[in-house]
Amino acid sequence: MEPVIVRNSILTHEHVLVDFIGADQASPSRYNADEVFAAARPKLEAARKYGCRRLLECTPAFLGRDPRLLVRLQEATGVELWTNTGLYAAANHKFLPAFAKTESPLALAKRWIAEWRNGVDGVKPRFIKIGVNNAPLHELDRKVVEAGAIASLETGLTIACHTSGGGPAAEATMEILAARKVPLHKYVWVHAQNEKSNQYFETAARAGAWVSFDGLSEKSDERHWQAYFWMLNAGLLQRMLLSHDSGWYRVGEPGGGRFNGYTYVYEKFLPRVPAEFRELLMVTNPVKAFGD
Ligand SMILES: [Zn+2]
């Protein structure tokens, strides 16, 4: 199979840098930005060759979000890098700063709206990234979803929500959003491929949500292929997103550890997909989901 070029394609869930140390210790002083730059640059250039024009960098604050570094990489590679606002409650709240535990949803949302208005290190976040654990959702999980709802209604930004708990957690998230009158086309169910029961995809997609099969790699190829085919047969490809959840420079590992690239989709997955659906999955849907 020959790799395919998809002009103006968008990778909706990737990472340049992640630091898993925890919210209380995460800091740019824990890594050398030049070293991360050097590691990420060739990976972005490789994706650019296949037509990638934009990559949504999904690393939240307190996990290594570094908009300044993203701007440098964008200027060097020609791949637009979008950063985010929000907070990640998954991993049992290890990445929530102390203020998130005491403040109200509205107070958190005000912080995110302010980031959107004023920028983070001079860069405007282009989407909201949050994360939740298993259903039934913990009070702190519910809080970040509520905050996401308030911020989305104010800013128009789409909410991409990491979902550790599969379909039931996605449903619980959608219930909160719906109660807040957030249109579900502003919600992206991240890591849908981890849900075994395809029926949840249908429920979410028919409700208008985006079903994101990220985490595409050689290892997950079969699951992704099944999911793609299932969505195709259900007539739901127009609600599907596809990405690698790949990268990244691992803070704390020598040289950043193994930095996986962003090209599998072009080299191995899309060559099996008809051209019209390549365009739908990699250009049309990402723009509809997140704006342009
Ligand atoms: Zn991710």
Angle at 275 between CA 227 and CA 206, to 5 degrees: 40
Q: What would the two tokens of residue 154 be?
A: 């104010």
Compute, in angstroms, the gap from residue 243 CA to the centroid of ligand 1: 10
- pLDDT score, position 126: 98
Compute, in angstroms, the gap from residue 61 CA to the centroid of ligand 1: 13
Q: What would the two tokens of residue 216 be?
A: 């595409």
pLDDT digits 0-9 by tens, 88-139: 999 999 999 999 999 999 999 999 999 999 999 999 999 999 999 999 999 9
- pLDDT score, position 33: 98
Compute, in angstroms, the gap from residue 213 CA to the centroid of ligand 1: 11
Question: Average model confidence (pLDDT) for the chain?
Answer: 97
Compute, in angstroms, the gap from residue 107 CA to the centroid of ligand 1: 25
CB atoms within 10 A of CB 7: 11
Domain assignment present for residue 2? The answer is no
Q: Which of 215, 193, 208 is nearest to 260 (CA)?
A: 215
Compute, in angstroms, the gap from residue 161 CA to the centroid of ligand 1: 10
- pLDDT score, position 277: 98
The number of residues making up the chain comes to 292
Domain assignment present for residue 177? The answer is yes
Q: What would the two tokens of residue 120 be?
A: 């983070």
pLDDT for residue 1 is more than 90: no
pLDDT for residue 203 is more than 90: yes
The percentage of residues in the chain with a pLDDT greater than 90, rounded to a whole number, is 99
Domain containing 112 — which CATH number?
3.20.20.140
Compute, in angstroms, the gap from residue 241 CA to the centroid of ligand 1: 14
- Sign of CA pseudo-dihedral 184, 188, 192, 193: positive
Compute, in angstroms, the gap from residue 123 CA to the centroid of ligand 1: 20
Compute, in angstroms, the gap from residue 83 CA to the centroid of ligand 1: 13
Domain assignment present for residue 1? The answer is no
Compute, in angstroms, the gap from residue 63 CA to the centroid of ligand 1: 11
Domain assignment present for residue 4? The answer is no
Compute, in angstroms, the gap from residue 250 CA to the centroid of ligand 1: 13
Compute, in angstroms, the gap from residue 212 CA to the centroid of ligand 1: 11
- pLDDT score, position 139: 98
Please, are residues 253 and 238 in contact by the beta-carbon 8 Å criterion?
no
In total, how many domains does the chain have? 1
Domain assignment present for residue 75? The answer is yes
Range of the domain at 240: 9-290
Please, are residues 62 and 95 in contact by the beta-carbon 8 Å criterion?
yes
Compute, in angstroms, the gap from residue 155 CA to the centroid of ligand 1: 23
Question: In whole angstroms, what is the distance from residue 242 CA to residue 52 CA?
Answer: 13
Domain assignment present for residue 139? The answer is yes
The percentage of residues in the chain with a pLDDT greater than 70, rounded to a whole number, is 100
Domain assignment present for residue 3? The answer is no
Domain assignment present for residue 110? The answer is yes
pTM for this predicted structure:
0.97
- pLDDT score, position 274: 97
Q: How confident is the model at residue 56 (pLDDT cuts 50, 70, 90)?
A: very high
Compute, in angstroms, the gap from residue 190 CA to the centroid of ligand 1: 8
